[in-house]
Chains A and B, each alone.
Chain A
């Protein structure tokens, strides 16, 4: 493949993974963090912020809703009519002698278009009233979160007079950037064969032509890169505590550093059994193993629990937030931070939740794997979801096309990470904080030995079964 194409593909991949992290996971997790926690605690939560809407819109919300449902019903009728036409074998019949708006309309196309329109308008109608609160557009409190972020960013940025100005400003960047860099090795989809986008691929065998692995970089040190980069985040927290010239911040920084270093060890050891099973350090090959065999969580449930625990400790959220320790050391290592710098720590936390959720999805939940969906089509139908020759040929054509399958798989990956992130947020609102000595004991006396035993057992298993 030419270098130019390679560059373009890489830029697109980087944009995708960053975009998903920054524009999807971070805001969604922030919103969940606020609203989900509120709901768990029987509160409404912060959702007052919003954009004032014209009276006309507010007064006629019901009308708008009715309109959406009406549109859905209309599209549904047209969809049924088109379906009936397809049923009668008129699927490819051209409706107009001349193309309208440059498109040749067929009953098949009509069926898809109106089906999609009807499908979109129903949830739109359902959700519409909930997007508003009184006279404001609030989007379930999403705008409130956005306004809070804007407010935080525009506040006065206070740097303590005795602080080390350079390190103080550097620390939040060091904390945030590694969280984003982790996305580089995460495979968010299968290999994309650009030459066969709209065709059904063979289930087995090699495929020629240009192939784009949907992973920014398939490093041969794979997972080690993650630990290396993730380990850099420690410096952000430790530097913040060190440069603030504040005893609480220093204690917080020290706690963060020792906690993260300790759990880094656990993090590494808990997934050694996976390397042994997957027989690779490349994340894309790990996913491929799970596609070929079974999801990691099934064969290594203990490793999953340990890894989840260790990763929560690694990104310092409840119940492992001793470095912030509001009740004893005020706000821990970022105590002196305000405005945008403080916001960077907050964002770094959510980026870390996002990347670690993606990582867990890759390691234990088959990454982009969708059960019963293979490269060549839907396994559930024995690769025989084939309607060609009938009036419905177009359905199987679309469903079996390479690009559709890849899209479904990418979507599955995004969804998996999203659910895992929600789980970690739910854990945050369920468990009380550990004492600091408990955190360290849990690491060195519980997780570490268990991880070692897990390695031993897995080793014996592999030795006996000869996998």
Chain B
């Protein structure tokens, strides 16, 4: 592969690569604000200026101080080039360090901070702000400007999710380009010039497409802030766990940002994966963290005399075991919302130990979620279940729908149900028949299946246990545990093993690697299709580490 030299280091590149992209791919960072690997080149921040040694320098006439003459004399200096815009050629020699470049970086940094309000204490970007990082790395000087900075609009509501602060904005236009190029919706633009320059909305529009929160994430400074995350937490308190979004079958890679002191998830961020979601995530995916803590099932529930009564988790396990022991025509309902591990252990217990013949898959349908669900050509899959493929695969059989289950219960072909997950495409009313027979449901949240169950056993939510999803493309992706589960609650597969133990059925599975090893080789085969994606699709390690912001 062809290479070029960056600060003496040989760096390979592909045809058409710019200096900054080739360096980024190798893991070498050249300071930048406006460049984003997923967006077009704007070259307007001038932070990535480098010196290209291998070609004849473009000389700029300057006045330089001559110590001997005690006067300024005419001189020249080499013109620096933006690394984000210069295409690499074989054998090119680039210097991104040294006095000239460093002076340029310091000057650009000072320029960007000229009218900046320096309100870091009240800025939500503080801690992950490029202005802060680069000030420390490349400027480290106090402001020389003593006059009052230019004031611009603050706290401008761009839409239902985003607030804009023009004073903090450095006009990198990442948000504008994101909307134009990724979403294809020209909702943002710039107006005015010079120090009055600001981002504005297209006339008559609000920032209301499906990827608005992404503008906050591409913003390198605190100009765009998310209304949801605003003032909730300081990012330096947060830890990140690599996870996979459970919003739809795309399986966008995410970072789950949580506060380890309170074990509370505060937001989801996209985790770069070229093969799946590139750098992006949709709004509903990012907001799906709400269900990690909201509407949770935290105790066991049983239905007595038509009323739902909360009982200790331990008692609900016994109740579930009693129901399953009596069952002769057991129906097992797999879940497209749960990982392969949970579904696999359900198969072990339900089919192999309890001999169930009626098998179904509970999944959300686009109509069953509030506000509906619509796929698009960008990221959002038309299937709003993260693991339909995986669940079907590990079940190892043809699965019926929940509608068929309702019909089978009505027809008396089923005398007990063991169901996984809260999600179902039907409403509670439609599933009412399911409570006609003893119905054991393992759920993290309150949903249609939960409400039609006679025994509910609490299990962990998506962020509280590790697992594997197989997305619509057939890529198996593991996700790590982020926060600790509420006391006593364990994952669905561990709960199933416990129920089995109470029935005298020993599943001999105690640890996650054992489950993964026992699962049909399917996951390995589908995972191979994800090999070569960048960064690694399988992110089972490095929980708690914070990746560098792009």
A and B touch in the complex (CB under 8 A): no
Chain B residues packing against A (C-beta within 8 Å): none
